[in-house]
Amino acid sequence: MTHRWWFRFDLDLGGSLGRRTHPNAVIVQEDRNLVMGPQATLDLDAADDLDAAYLAVLDHRPLPLGGYLVRRGREDSRPWTYLAVVHDFELTPSCRPGDVRRSLCGVVRDAQRRGLGFVAAEPLGHWHGRGLSFEEMTEAFHDSILELSPQLDEPFRLTLMLDDLDAVEQVSNLLRSRLLRRASRSFRTVDGDAAVVEVRDGVAKYHFRFVPGTLSGYMVTRARSGA
């Protein structure tokens, strides 16, 4: 039986970007003073609902944490870039989980509005020992997916790009541990080739299916709401 997934979350290696992974957009992390990435001209699209962030750039003020900016690809074949404003390097730690969650949710909603159904992301908030721990970063991604799943109009795919296989294994284990802690049952069933974990959020139920043949991702499908 084929289940329609609403949110697919994969883990992959950063080196695969542009080789076997071809997203419509990528999300990179940024400091509120735009000091992390290469200096480039931003595409200030008047149609974007990002007035506060763009006005901050124009006025040379720090950007609001938990926001984002959009930079279009220079060519049709290149993915768009979202700058997720999740760090303030004047603070210790430089990032909070809530800022990652707000920024990631905002990016996914904006990407869906633009018809971009596949986005790859850096480990937002985790940066060379500053900001979030791997566990905090993983929980922020997972909580964002749970928040977004009932809001999606079309299926959406998000891939978290990591540096090496050790990082993939660590995040994979953290995801499974978090899912099992939130499971409405204390066991997993098997549906076809994928293990299933059921999670309740109020009256809604979601089935998390671990994706066979990928680097430890999962798919979220909606179960019927109600007791």
Give the pLDDT of residue 181.
83
Positions of the chain with pLDDT lower than 50, given as ranges: 1-2, 39-41, 44-46, 56, 58, 186-187, 225-227
Tell me the pTM.
0.83
Q: C-alpha angle with apex 100: 98 to 106, nearest 5 degrees?
A: 100
Give the pLDDT of residue 213.
55
Tell me phi and psi for residue 151, to 5 degrees: -100, -10
Expressed in angstroms, the distance from the first to the final Cα of the chain is: 24
Give the pLDDT of residue 60.
53
Give the pLDDT of residue 153.
83
Give the pLDDT of residue 43.
52
Q: Token pair for residue 42? A: 């931003």
- Counting runs of H as helices and runs of E as strands, what totals does the chain give? 4, 12
7-183 has which fold? Leucine Aminopeptidase, subunit E; domain 1 (3.40.220)
pLDDT digits (tens, 9 = 90+) for 97-120: 999 999 999 999 999 999 999 999
Give the pLDDT of residue 224.
52
Give the pLDDT of residue 227.
42
